[in-house]
Amino acid sequence: MARTIPFARTAAAARARRNKTLLLPMPRTEVDRLCLQVHIALDVMRRGMGNAGAAQTLCQAMILTGLLAEAGYAEATFDQMRNAEDVISAAFDRGRDSGVWSLDENGFRQFAVIVSTYDRQLRRAPLAAVADASDRLERFRVGESLDQMARKRA
């Protein structure tokens, strides 16, 4: 009869496995699920059939892309992020005012680059970096400014 491989069941062994996992990229199925949501949001916004949720998904992907780039995973310039912020802010304003949630062709091209970068980052960056960026995004969502977070990190 086949024997199972004996794994240490100590807290130290569990911690070591968790630490190793944090050094690896995210599991492909999870990356595919997250990327698909962002690609769908980009597509519906391009077709003018978006909603607040799609715009929010793109906004969060934009912020995560910037945070992961800041951590050294891919290139993203300050101007690129600032322009994308202006594009998504205009989409939010337009959506609230007219009910049309969309990106114009220029905005779509800008976000297509960001979404492609986001895809690459999630496929290559270690889980620890993605978790840190996600944690920073969550703190930003509850009201902590990115400047405050930067001061805490320094």
Q: CA 89, 53, 71, 31: dihedral to nearest 10 degrees?
A: -150
pLDDT in tens, 58-77: 999 999 999 999 999 998 88
Q: What is the 3-class SS of 99-131, one letter each residue?
A: CCCCCCHHHHHHHHHHHHHHHHHHHHCEHHHHH
Task: Report the pLDDT value the prediction gives residue 76, as an integer from 0 to 100.
Answer: 84
Which parts of the chain have pLDDT scores under 50?
Answer: 1
Task: Report the pLDDT value the prediction gives residue 23, as an integer from 0 to 100.
Answer: 84
Task: Report the pLDDT value the prediction gives residue 33, as an integer from 0 to 100.
Answer: 96
Percent of the chain having pLDDT more than 70? 81
State the DSSP string of 40-97. HHHHHHHTT---HHHHHHHHHHHHHHHHHHHTTSS---HHHHHHHHHHHHHHHHHHHH
Task: Report the pLDDT value the prediction gives residue 114, as an integer from 0 to 100.
Answer: 97
Task: Report the pLDDT value the prediction gives residue 140, as an integer from 0 to 100.
Answer: 85
Tell if the pTM clears 0.85, that is, is over it. no
114 Cβ partners below 8 Å, 6+ apart?
A: 58, 61, 62, 65, 76, 80, 84
Looking at residue 143, what DSSP letter applies?
Answer: T
Taking the C-alpha atoms of residue 99 and residue 90, their distance in angstroms, rounded to an integer, is 13
Q: CA 99, 104, 108, 111: dihedral to nearest 10 degrees?
A: -70
Question: What 3-state class would DSSP assign to 33?
Answer: helix
Domain spans of the chain, in order of start: 51-153
Residue matched to tokens 């986001």: 118
Residues listed for the chain: 154
Task: Report the pLDDT value the prediction gives residue 77, as an integer from 0 to 100.
Answer: 83
Task: Report the pLDDT value the prediction gives residue 1, as an integer from 0 to 100.
Answer: 46
pLDDT in tens, 94-111: 999 999 999 999 999 999
